[in-house]
Structure 1
């Protein structure tokens, strides 16, 4: 029996699943570091599911990075993909490549009750755009624009690479430390997994503490346990995420709402809710009132990127 496959591929993980027109089946998470190229990961997945490559008909892969042309280079891992070679090797009837946060945005159209937490309640203007933003291996940003017929246009972008906004003297001092080490400081420099560790190290340097944490997970765990420097880093992370999300909402006119997506934030949801995120989001000077009414939701759905890839496959769209 013929079947389709969807994938959500980031810098660290490749999430793969079957799609038969009814919903996701047999979701499996593979490590990108374990395979030289995407086609080997797909073959390993099919072998694990006892499925034949010959029965694979269509594939939609949501890929981290700008999608254009035949050759695709993943932004935060070593994989490369040629559309033509990939489709030929697997003898596919149809191959769709879409930006990973375009897929994440499409996944927001399939959210079910209980798959989000209200960070800021507000009245969504249904005819206005919606912003989707989330830190993970990188910082993803995309938007949904409503169509007159009730559907959606998804607009992928590279908003994670905008310059990091400075809103206080403390942030300016941290920016100077970061700039001394890495040069240009973009939002993704701190608003991702590795960025959280970098931010922790910058705070330790600025405040003259000796850093003792080695991974982003260490920083999160220590912050939740009350470690001063780690909590300072995670708190500043939330403030800066609020600033970037608020700036993006202003640029887009996202009065339809903001979705905080990705797998990183749910790990410290309670911390986020009591952090300075909303202060950073709302601190927009004369435009503060504009953003204060925008609802913000933390997405807790398990596989929204895969769901979005299913939507793209249904619509037969390349983005």
Structure 2
């Protein structure tokens, strides 16, 4: 009898922690553990420590998919906020793997989208009829957090998707109201380029709030994005409310531009930590109206769904999909 398929090794590696898991071919988790990156000289050593505790000979992995918090453009990978630097080919050989796929962390998050259940997402705006959502159209993914991640999923055959990592978070941010124009003009005194990420992110929310206070000639009453978001949710700081609503409006502008540019009629999925943590405010924000506000192309965008991803760790189902697609089509940017 043929030997049963071996499990896969997946890992979500950030600057502080690396989350490893052994998974069956159907995605079920056999074992999982979070390791501190500071405790190991590199990902191979961290993976070996994890496998030593959880993988016997009969369930040693033969394939792996890792996502890393940094750009991935070749064999050599260097984390943005940690001194780990490693070779993909050398890591594969050191761990005795047949295949090792390494992608940017936002690509893995985007790859989770086809794996999500209805309970994993929250629809924002009108829910289009299924017939109006082309199954062969690209999907757009945006994730405001520490920065603004942007990726596309492009259909690549039956039940296959090819992720495209982009630097769409650094597009030039365009105002659509007089107040937004005042904010951006004020920021030009400091920044020669005001990108989408500059204001649509955690640090961006703090900068947006501070800018509104400066324009009003008042000192900031809140410090940091969490305090600003909390004050907006409680309704105790009018400028915090304006800042949060303006950030979500800007996100709508960027998302609508992305759909028009990429033909992403398959929908827009919002990932990252900020929007799910403020979902009530987001649902009543100007996001969806701004998303559709494209003049003659309002009707074109009106049928495109926009959804917030609520899954607590979308990188893992995305990595499972990359494992399954290894040998057919993989997602390295």
CA RMSD of aligned residues (A): 2.8
**Among 246, 260, 267, which residue is 2:270 paired with?**
260
| Post-superposition CA distance 1:137-196 (Å, at most 9, x none) | 221111222245343232222211111122122111111233323432111112222222
| Post-superposition CA distance 1:87-119 (Å, at most 9, x none) | 355444422112323222221111112111110
- Pair 195,88 (structure 1): closer, same or farther in 2 beyond 3 Å: farther
Aligned-partner Cα distance in 1 for 2:105–2:301: 26
Asked if the contact 1:131/1:258 (under 8 Å) is kept, the reply is yes
Higher Cα radius of gyration = 2
Q: Does 1:73 align with 2:73?
A: no
Aligned-partner Cα distance in 2 for 1:12–1:258: 29
Asked if the contact 1:12/1:137 (under 8 Å) is kept, the reply is no
Asked if the contact 1:132/1:259 (under 8 Å) is kept, the reply is yes
Deviation at 1:212, TM superposition (A): 3.8
**Among 242, 260, 267, which residue is 1:232 paired with?**
242
**Among 288, 291, 296, which residue is 2:298 paired with?**
288
Q: How does 1:261-276 map to 2 (within 5 A)?
A: 261-276=271-286
What's the TM-score once normalised by structure 2's chain length? 0.84
Equivalenced residue count is: 318
Out of 304-313 and 197-206, give the one that drifted further: 197-206
- Pair 225,41 (structure 1): closer, same or farther in 2 beyond 3 Å: farther
Asked if the contact 1:125/1:255 (under 8 Å) is kept, the reply is yes
What residue in structure 2 maps to residue 191 of structure 1?
200
Asked if the contact 2:154/2:162 (under 8 Å) is kept, the reply is yes
What's the TM-score once normalised by structure 1's chain length? 0.88
| Post-superposition CA distance 1:202-239 (Å, at most 9, x none) | 22222222124332222221221112222221111100
Out of 65-74 and 87-96, give the one that drifted further: 87-96
Aligned-partner Cα distance in 1 for 2:300–2:72: 33
What residue in structure 1 maps to residue 119 of structure 2?
114
Structure 2: give runs of 5+ residues left out of the alignment. Answer: none
Aligned-partner Cα distance in 2 for 1:81–1:5: 17
- Pair 64,212 (structure 1): closer, same or farther in 2 beyond 3 Å: same
**Among 222, 238, 255, which residue is 1:245 paired with?**
255
Deviation at 1:264, TM superposition (A): 2.3
Aligned-partner Cα distance in 1 for 2:245–2:230: 13
Describe the SS at the equivalent of 2:189. Answer: helix
Out of 29-38 and 176-185, give the one that drifted further: 29-38
Aligned-partner Cα distance in 2 for 1:84–1:148: 27
